[in-house]
Amino acid sequence: MALRQIRSLNASWYYSWGSAYTVTTSPAFVPMVWSANALLHKDALGDVARQLPATRTKHLLAFNEPDHAGQANMSVDEAVRLWPHLQSTGLRLGSPVTVGVRSPWLDQFMARARQANLRVDFMTMHSYTSPNPESFLAKVWYLHYRYGRPVWVTEFAVADWSASPARPSRYTTREVGYFMQAAVAGMRLMPFVERFAWKSREPSDPAMGPSALFKTNGQLTSIGRLYASL
C-alpha cells in the first residue's frame, strides 16, 4: 500500500525519517540521519553507503528537531562534533531541522558551523500553521535570507494544536485546500526552494485531520487529490 500511496501523490521524491529505504527508489528516496543515536549506534551512514547504488541519492538530511526533547534532542555541541561524519559521505547536506525557523538552536549551530568551516549545503524547515499562506511563505523567505542557502520544506501542513478529541481542528478542509494551493504556488515562485513535502496524519487526528492526504483505506482524500495535482 505504501508504494501505491507514494505514487498516487505524483511525488518526485520522498523520505522516511530513516537512513535505509524500505518502499521504493522510484520516486527517489532521500536518507536521513535522524539523531546522534542513529549515527553512532544504528549504522545510519552504513545504510546510506550500502544503498547508494540503488538510491543514487545526492542528498542527506540530518538531525530531526534536535531542539525538541521528544525528537532528536541534541545539544549544539553534539551536533557540531558529529557533523564531520556526515560531511564524509560527500553528499549534499541539509541543515538540522529545528522546530521553527527562528530557533536559537539553529542560529547557534550555523554560527558554530561557520567558525569550524563545516559544510551545510541547504536549509531544512518544518512549519505547522493556521491556514495563512502569507505567514508560511514569510518563514520560507526568512530562512533563505537568514542563512543564504537553498531551502527544503520537509514538513508543512495546517495544524490546530489547541484541538482535542472532544474539539477537533477548527480549520476546514476548504481552508486547508486554499492554504495548500497558495503555499505551493508561492514556493514554486521562489527559485531557492528546491523541494517540499506535505505532512499527513490520520483523518481522525484532532490537530491535523483536515490536512490528511489519505483516507483510512489508503485512498486519497480531497486534499490528497489536490496535492497530487499541484
Tell me what pLDDT residue 212 has: 98
Distance CA 134, CA 120 (A): 27
Q: What is the pLDDT of residue 124?
A: 98
Nearest to 154 by CA among 196, 193, 186, 200: 196
In three-state secondary structure terms, 11 is: coil
Tens digits of per-residue pLDDT, 26-41?
999 999 999 999 999 9
Q: Which residue is associated with the grid cell 528537531?
A: 65
pLDDT digits (tens, 9 = 90+) for 135-177: 999 999 999 999 999 999 999 999 999 999 999 999 999 999 9
Supply the pLDDT for residue 131.
98
Give residue for cell 495535482.
229
pTM: 0.97
In the 8-state DSSP scheme, what is residue 117?
T
Among candidate residues 24, 129, 112, the one with its CA nearest the CA of residue 14:
24
Question: Distance (Å, rounded) from C-alpha 157 to C-alpha 154?
Answer: 10
Taking alpha carbons only, the member of 188, 157, 178, 218 closest to residue 12 is: 188
Of residues 8, 96, 91, the one with CA closest to residue 47? 91
How far apart CA 167 and CA 225 sit, in angstroms, is 26
List of the chain residues with pLDDT < 70: none
Helices 133-147 + 173-188 axis angle, to 10: 30
Distance CA(122)–CA(99), nearest Å, equals 17
pLDDT at site 148: 98
Domains and CATH numbers, the chain: 2-229 (3.20.20.80)
Q: What is the pLDDT of residue 1?
A: 84
Residue 75: predicted pLDDT: 98
What's the CA gap between 158 and 179, in Å, rounded? 8
Quick one: pLDDT at residue 52?
Answer: 97
Query: 134 - beta bridge partners?
Result: none
Three-point CA angle 194, 196, 199, nearest 5°: 165
